[in-house]
């Protein structure tokens, strides 16, 4: 039987989601706990990879078992076994063909910037003291939806079959506590794409680039023209969307 798992994690201690030899990863950590709990080697497939230090406030994965399990009991025991920086909040039976990665229709990432020192956000936001023009950043972000080729924000040697993505939303907002929040939603993302976009939009906000120059960077399809990627700790995978006939999220 196949089960979808909904979870969240603090990525600070991990070298990303994907299993790596001799490196701590989120996937490996969950697999070790599931294998011990179910008493059988169990692999888990995620909705996508997140890089070293990147977080997930909402993530979906799936695993298979030979027999039906008590989801409530396994959920409880799994959380007891997992470290404090990984939390599973739902385990749901799905069809045998449902796939956490390939059936995902949309993904959303959120990035946080703090412009004042905040000890409670040191692991979850980029501390950036320079005042930023949010209006200009929003004008530039809105332009992203006019494009489909994001080679200028794609990490080199990532073995992407295509750099084409469809962005449905990209905007900045200011939280009640003054934290800047960037939200971007697309059908797929390239490796390091969001952090590279954020870094370049911040350069728009501080006046290094105009909105028109930002558009030229996108159109150039040249990674050398985009800004350095924003730090990992401010980035969260925040949503994964599936067809309701496959899976309805519980949060």
Angle between helices 134-143 and 211-220 (to 10 degrees): 30
Go through the chain and tell me how many residues it has: 251
Q: Which residue has the tokens 């997140």?
A: 50
In the annotation, is 239 catalytic? no
Angle between helices 71-81 and 26-38 (to 10 degrees): 120
Give the pair of three-digit tokens for residue 114.
């703090």
Give CA–CA dist 156/199, Å, rounded.
17
Q: Distance of alpha carbon 89 from its chain centroid, rounded? A: 18
Give CA–CA dist 147/161, Å, rounded.
18
- Catalytic residue from among 51, 103, 203, 239: 51
Residues marked active site are found at 51
């Amino acid at each position: 039987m196949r089960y979808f798992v909904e979870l969240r994690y603090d990525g600070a201690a991990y070298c990303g989601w994907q299993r790596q030899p001799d490196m701590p990863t989120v996937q490996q950590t969950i697999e070790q706990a599931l294998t011990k709990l179910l008493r059988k080697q169990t692999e888990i497939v995620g909705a996508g990879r997140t890089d070293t230090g990147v977080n997930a406030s909402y993530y979906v994965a799936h695993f298979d078992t030979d027999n039906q399990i008590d989801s409530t009991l396994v959920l409880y025991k799994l959380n007891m076994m997992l470290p404090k920086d990984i939390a599973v909040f739902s385990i749901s039976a799905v069809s045998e063909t449902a796939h956490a990665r390939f059936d995902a229709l949309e993904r959303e990432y959120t990035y946080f910037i703090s412009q004042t020192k905040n000890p409670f956000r040191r692991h979850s936001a980029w501390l950036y003291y320079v005042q930023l023009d949010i209006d200009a950043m929003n004008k530039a972000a809105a332009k992203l939806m006019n494009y489909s080729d994001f080679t200028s924000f794609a990490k080199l040697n990532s073995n992407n079959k295509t750099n084409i993505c469809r962005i449905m939303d990209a905007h900045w907002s200011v939280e009640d506590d003054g934290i800047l929040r960037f939200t971007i939603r697309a059908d797929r993302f390239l490796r390091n794409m969001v952090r590279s976009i954020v870094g370049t939009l911040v350069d728009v906000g501080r006046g290094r680039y105009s909105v028109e120059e930002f558009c030229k960077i996108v159109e150039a399809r040249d990674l050398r023209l985009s800004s350095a990627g924003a730090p990992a700790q401010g980035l969260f995978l925040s949503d994964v969307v599936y067809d309701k006939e496959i899976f309805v999220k519980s949060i």
